């Protein structure tokens, strides 16, 4: 016994409406015999008559009428499914899980979220803020869709899309404002406050100072850039923060910021996602939104 097909249900509905094989067939854009055969097959599959063919007119049986009601519901649901897909085509819709590292999130996310919810109202945005290795792991596990991190990540299963580069700046107490800006190497001899281990920004800073990343430290690590700047304001030492953090973090502390000379330290921020994701194009759009968000900071 054959299976029910949507085609049969569509033909059935047409015939139920027109009550005439020829006209129903025309409405389905097929020949009358094709319709006859399909209806007959449907009736056989069901094991019940749906129509009563009398010489002058075609009528639904009482079962056929009950059947028609259900069929209408199903066909409507299928059409809606189709529309649903078509409306989601290319555009990003539904759940979207975005990871961000802690040295970016507080500064970039407000703008990103604003732009994104405006440009993609149907988006169900989830944000995860944690360190790069964990983001990468969750990305590979499929628990995240994309992440905003410092490049490179060098994970073969991921695509990296560079968004922008930004310099790092030196943060010193106000009192040091007139002193010359030290070079990277010289920072090693100053009390340089750093983020805790695990933050990529810590490693980038140490690299700039030509210091081994595993150098033993004396308990001066902060858990956030905000903390570091507060510590600088308190005269405990100096620190380095990315440019995007300057406005937010140094507004209220009595510290001053200075650019480095010649070899300016910098990082490249980018978005990453699984190579295998079929939503690459949509993600690239989001990447562009993020890039614009940075520009408008």
Indicate which of a copy of itself, DNA, none lies near residue 142 (CB less than 5 to 8 Å, by partner kind). a copy of itself
Binding mask 24-63 for DNA (x = CB under 7 A): -----xxxxxx-xxxxxx-----------x-xxxx-----
Q: Which of 240, 248, 250, 268 is nearest to 107 (CA)?
A: 248
Indicate which of DNA, a copy of itself, none lies near residue 41 (CB less than 5 to 8 Å, by partner kind). DNA
Task: Round the CA-based radius of gyration of the chain to a whole number and report it.
Answer: 32
Shortest Å distance, C-beta 54 to a copy of itself: 4
Binding mask 139-178 for DNA (x = CB under 7 A): -----------------xx---------------------
Indicate which of a copy of itself, DNA, none lies near residue 212 (CB less than 5 to 8 Å, by partner kind). none
> Which parts of this chain interact with a copy of itself (CB under 8 A)?
3-7, 43, 46-49, 51-55, 57, 59, 61-63, 65-67, 70-71, 73-74, 77-78, 80-82, 84-86, 88-90, 93-96, 142, 145, 157, 274, 276-279
At residue 149, the 3 state secondary structure works out as strand
At residue 186, the 3 state secondary structure works out as helix
Residues in CB range of 21: below 8 A, 6 or more apart: 15, 32, 35, 36, 39, 58
Shortest Å distance, C-beta 37 to DNA: 5
Longest dimension (CA), the chain: 106
Q: With contact defined as beta carbons under 8 Å apart, do 169 and 257 qualify?
A: yes
Residues in CB range of 76: below 8 A, 6 or more apart: none
């Amino acid at each position: 016994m054959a299976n029910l097909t949507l085609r049969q249900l569509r033909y059935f509905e047409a015939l139920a409406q027109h009550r005439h094989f020829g006209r129903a067939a025309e409405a389905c854009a097929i020949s009358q015999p094709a319709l006859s055969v399909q209806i007959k097959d449907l009736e056989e599959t069901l094991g019940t008559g749906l129509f009563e063919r009398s010489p002058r007119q075609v009528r639904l049986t009482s079962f056929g009428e009950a059947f028609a009601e259900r069929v209408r519901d199903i066909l409507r649901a299928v059409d809606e499914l189709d529309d649903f897909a078509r409306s989601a085509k290319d555009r990003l819709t539904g759940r979207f899980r975005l990871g961000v590292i802690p040295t970016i999130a507080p500064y970039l996310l407000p703008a990103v979220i604003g732009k994104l919810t405006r440009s993609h109202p149907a988006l169900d945005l989830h944000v995860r803020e944690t360190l790069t290795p964990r983001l990468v792991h969750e990305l590979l596990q499929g628990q995240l869709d994309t992440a905003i991190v410092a490049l490179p990540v060098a994970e073969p299963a991921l695509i990296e899309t560079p968004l922008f580069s930004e310099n790092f700046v030196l943060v010193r107490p106000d009192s040091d404002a007139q002193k010359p800006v030290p070079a990277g190497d010289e920072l090693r001899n100053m009390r340089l406050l750093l983020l805790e281990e695990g933050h990529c920004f810590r490693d980038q800073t140490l690299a700039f100072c030509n210091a081994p990343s595993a150098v033993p430290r004396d308990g001066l690590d902060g858990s956030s850039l905000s903390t570091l700047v507060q510590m600088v304001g308190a005269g405990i030492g100096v620190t380095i923060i990315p440019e995007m953090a300057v406005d937010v973090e140094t507004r209220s502390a009595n510290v001053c910021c200075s650019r480095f000379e010649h070899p300016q330290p910098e990082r490249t921020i980018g978005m990453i996602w699984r190579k295998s994701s079929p939503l690459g194009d949509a993600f690239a759009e989001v990447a562009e939104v993020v890039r614009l968000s940075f520009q408008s900071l």
